[in-house]
Chain A
């Protein structure tokens, strides 16, 4: 069974479109995250949710909106896509926020905006 699953795996879309990426974890973890990995391979935190509440919102454009219907799901909606949004987006989860636990990552969504 996949621990953290993201869909879709690949997403190619035109500038100006709105798209969503879905993430689900079956590990019973309390906290979920969205990270963006750009062309230089740098992983940067975007959002973190703990028990359905947003606890970190890094300085990302407000075109990006996370939504968490329950603690097993964290979706990412992106409005008015721009060329610079092209990247790989990783969802992750962890056992306890603040504890010395690593994260389990999903396999990533490769977004290409054309």
Chain B
């Protein structure tokens, strides 16, 4: 079983739509959680950290459910510029970040 699993998509949504991505992780000792964004042929960039109480950054909302070992990302009012691959990322203690394989999003005009 992969340490971090994501639905690869692709998700094709119209502009203005709300879209949600899910992610599960296998190690219950995971302590830090992130969503990264990767544009085609570019490096991954930190989108937001994910906190236990849930957190919001503009149109983006992240949720964490430790009991279910589940992380989600909600994007409201999708923009064309949101088209990218979204990577779910976890860290176990002092270890390095472990990346999911990503979920591809295309926002259509």
Q: Which residues of A contact B (CB under 8 A)?
A: 33, 35, 40-45, 48, 56, 90, 97-98, 100, 102-108
Q: Which residues of A contact B49 (CB under 8 A)?
A: 100, 102
Q: Which residues of A contact B102 (CB under 8 A)?
A: 41
CB of B22 closer than 8 Å to a CB of A:
no
Q: Smallest distance from the beta carbon of B17 to chain A beta carbons, Å?
A: 24
CB of B46 closer than 8 Å to a CB of A:
yes
CB of B21 closer than 8 Å to a CB of A:
no
Report which of A42, A45, A105 forms a contact with B45, defined as CB distance below 8 A: A105
Number of interface residues of B (CB under 8 A): 24
* Complex contact A100–B94 (CB within 8 A): no
CB of B25 closer than 8 Å to a CB of A:
no
CB of B99 closer than 8 Å to a CB of A:
yes
Across chains A and B, the number of contacting residue pairs, with CB separation under 8 Å, is: 46
Nearest 7 pairs of A and B residues by beta carbon:
A98-B94, A102-B46, A105-B43, A43-B99, A100-B32, A45-B96, A42-B101
* Complex contact A56–B34 (CB within 8 A): no
Measured CA separation A45–B93 after assembly (Å): 16
Measured CA separation A68–B32 after assembly (Å): 27
CB of B85 closer than 8 Å to a CB of A:
yes
* Complex contact A42–B99 (CB within 8 A): yes
* Complex contact B42–A43 (CB within 8 A): no
Q: Which residues of B contact A42 (CB under 8 A)?
A: 99, 101
Q: Smallest distance from the beta carbon of B82 to chain A beta carbons, Å?
A: 18
Q: Smallest distance from the beta carbon of A8 to chain B beta carbons, Å?
A: 15
Q: Which residues of B contact A97 (CB under 8 A)?
A: 94
CB of B98 closer than 8 Å to a CB of A:
yes
Report which of B36, B95, B101 forms a contact with A102, defined as CB distance below 8 A: B36
Q: Which residues of B contact A33 (CB under 8 A)?
A: 96
* Complex contact A43–B94 (CB within 8 A): no
Interface residues of B in 12-29 (CB under 8 A from A): none
